Amino acid sequence: MVVDDSKAIRLILSRALEEIGWQVTQAINGKEAWRAIEAQPEPVKLVLVDWNMPEMNGLEFIRRVRKQQRYDETKLMMVTTETDVNEMVTALEAGANEYVMKPFTKEIIQDKVRILGF
């Protein structure tokens, strides 16, 4: 799943994942993403999530996901413009498995997915 309020970023990330064999769903914010993953019969395996979004930001989404044991195996990758090391630490402490700063290349995204074991 790709979660970002920017349609262009959702498209770029989705294509990068589809090129390596993923079926991708999209959401425009954390609230929509939460509803989408809760509706799935099986836990989502991977979520790429932006930090800065309306309604529910990426950090709030990550914290909510990590509160549910059902999603212990779900890998969460923060993909954001937040470049301060303190934000990175905050996201990782909240439960993000990886952190990618914008701008990025598709190769970076694909490499991070491989690092996560996929």
Name residues of the chain where pLDDT drops below 70. none
What pLDDT score does 50 carry? Answer: 98
Q: CB under 8 Å to 76, separation ≥6 — which residues?
A: 46, 47, 49, 62, 65, 66, 95, 96, 97, 98
| pTM, 2 dp | 0.96
Distance separating alpha carbons of residues 72 and 97, to the nearest angstrom: 11
Query: Residue-wise over 54-66: b if at least 16 C-beta within 10 A, else e?
Result: eebbbbbbbbbbe
| 33 found inside a domain | yes
| 37 found inside a domain | yes
Q: In the chain, which residue ranges form alpha helices assigned H by DSSP?
A: 7-18, 30-39, 58-66, 85-94, 106-115
Overall domain count for the chain: 1
Give the tens place of pLDDT for each residue, 64-79: 999 999 999 999 999 9
| 18 found inside a domain | yes
| 118 found inside a domain | no
